[in-house]
Amino acid sequence: MKTDSQLASRKPSLKLLWVLAVPAYLADQATKMAIVKKIAVHEDVIEVIPGFFWIHHIMNTGVAFGMANGAAHSNVIFGGIAMVTCGAILILWRKGFFPSLISRIAAALLIAGALGNLTDRIRLSYVVDWISVNLKFMLWPSFNLADAYICIAAGLMILSSFHGEETPQKKKSS
């Protein structure tokens, strides 16, 4: 049986991070490439579910929900934040700061979302938003898969704070 110090010194593998983050990132980029290729910016709207869900092509240089869209240097600032975020997650992952499966999934989704939007900023000088939904009480601001990953990651991080993984010390005391 491993001691507490042996368990603490074991560095988590990055394999799970990449197995989760890479397909999510690729799905985000594939959908955005299709949107850019097939739908004119701010012109075409495809109604998928009448009165509820539309696909269109929106240019967003800001952050979530179009905040700071068009602001001076927003692409550089938010691109830099995405790079720092990804670097911090990798460092924290290696140090074991994501002990539960839920927190690891959240970290992987956060990396996929941040890299997805960063790729757009570098490649296109804006983030491709393409999903619009009408929640009946409000028209939700346009977003993309990367934005959805980031929001899901935030929810999972909150959830994981209530469902921490049991450590050997917790098991001994119960």
Active site residue 129: yes
Q: Per-residue pLDDT for 105 more than 80?
A: yes
Q: Per-residue pLDDT for 170 more than 70?
A: no
Q: Per-residue pLDDT for 166 more than 80?
A: no
Candidates 153, 151, 133; CA nearest to 141 is 133
- The SS3 assignment for 17 reads helix
Percent of the chain with pLDDT over 70: 84
Cross-strand partners of 56: 45
Candidates 37, 140, 152, 60; CA nearest to 106 is 152
Residues 128-154 have a mean pLDDT of 94
Question: In this predicted structure, what is the pLDDT of residue 163?
Answer: 72
> Of the listed 4, 44, 120, 129, which one is catalytic?
129
Question: In this predicted structure, what is the pLDDT of residue 169?
Answer: 46
Write out pLDDT tens, residues 39-51. 999 988 999 999 9
Between 108 and 14, the higher pLDDT residue: 108
Asked if 144 contacts 130 with a C-beta cutoff of 8 angstroms, the reply is yes
Residues 4-29 have a mean pLDDT of 79
Active site residue 44: no
Asked if 20 contacts 105 with a C-beta cutoff of 8 angstroms, the reply is yes
Q: Per-residue pLDDT for 167 more than 50?
A: no
Q: Per-residue pLDDT for 10 more than 90?
A: no
Q: Per-residue pLDDT for 174 more than 60?
A: no
> Of the listed 4, 28, 44, 147, which one is catalytic?
147
Question: In this predicted structure, what is the pLDDT of residue 165?
Answer: 55
pLDDT averaged over every residue in the chain? 86
Asked if 32 contacts 128 with a C-beta cutoff of 8 angstroms, the reply is yes
